Structure 1
Amino acid sequence: MGISRHATAHWDGDFKSGRGTLGTPQSGLLSGTRYGFNSRFGQEKGTNPEELIAAAHAGCFAMALSANLTEAGFPPETIDARAEVDLSMEGGPTLSQIRLKVEAKVPGIDETRFRAVADDTKRNCPVSKALSAVPISMEATLAG
């Protein structure tokens, strides 16, 4: 048995002057959250698909890295993950690159072992797998 999650989107109007709202009815975290052309391609307040993909990837990666480090015998104290998602306009809009940046405080682990666990996590966290058509790079550092 799997787990199913969903989100909703509503859009009014044309591409450039229209606007939409996003929702996550199961958690209620997003409710009527604005998005549109100017929040995606400009600086207007609101979210955009790339930001949401980045949040999902950073969150999934941090959780998966914690699980993998713990399983390897090195439970982490802290993990700070950042995902940067690039949208290229060359040849039409496409996600062109994702950069993961992670810093973790992990007692007792050496740099080589940490890097191996982080690399495995980058390849195998569920969101990384879903985004495998996009090149994903990673900077992983140990804190302290």
Structure 2
Amino acid sequence: MVGKHHLSAIGTLVERQTRMVRLLHLPQWDGDTLHAALTARMADLAPELLRSITWDQGTEMARHLTITESLGAPIYFCDSRSPWQRGSNENANGLLRDYFPKGTDLARHSSKHLLAVEEELNNRPRVILQDRSPAQLFTALLGSASPPVLRR
């Protein structure tokens, strides 16, 4: 999500099976800031969970090879003007607009505030998940003996 005058952004990551959301505080909208935020935010996840990242066609992904090397997850780019190729992420961005309306300076929102929004969204039941929350499903996924999504 890009902020006012394209000077700030919030990175959104959505696990496609459980719809679990992770937000990245990006006070600047560039490749170095994204790389630092992404690697820091994903550091607590097991490598098996980082199978791939699908991104849109933005200049902030200029360091995609470095990110791939840092995380061990290949990055795929959607076709230009094809948001449906990242449907879960686009839906999450729509939900986030309730918290961060278009035209606002996203840099003014702290990492702590983003974590609070993330927690609220992840604990919100969703119809697509049969009225379960992403947090419930993600916890169940991690606790299952051999979850198919974690197999490489």
Higher relative contact order (CA 8 A, sep 6+): 2
Tell me the TM-score normalized by structure 1.
Answer: 0.27
Greater percentage in strand: 1
